[in-house]
Amino acid sequence: SMEARIRRGQLLREILKQERLDPLPETFHMAWLVAYNEGLLDGRDAEAVRKDLQALRRGAEESGLAVTSGREQWREAVGAWLREERHDATA
What would you measure as the largest C-alpha separation in the chain, in angstroms?
Answer: 38
Residue among 56, 63, 69, 50 nearest 11 (CA): 50
pLDDT in tens, the chain (91 residues): 888 888 888 888 877 776 777 778 899 999 999 999 999 999 898 899 999 999 999 999 999 999 999 999 999 999 999 999 999 877 6
Task: Give the integer Cα–Cα distance in Å for 8 and 6.
Answer: 5
Quote the pLDDT of residue 52: 94
* 4/77 Cα distance (integer angstroms): 26
Quote the CA–CA distance of 18 and 53 in Å, as a whole number.
Answer: 12
Count of helix runs (H) and strand runs (E) in the chain: 4, 0
Q: Is the pTM of this model over 0.75?
A: yes
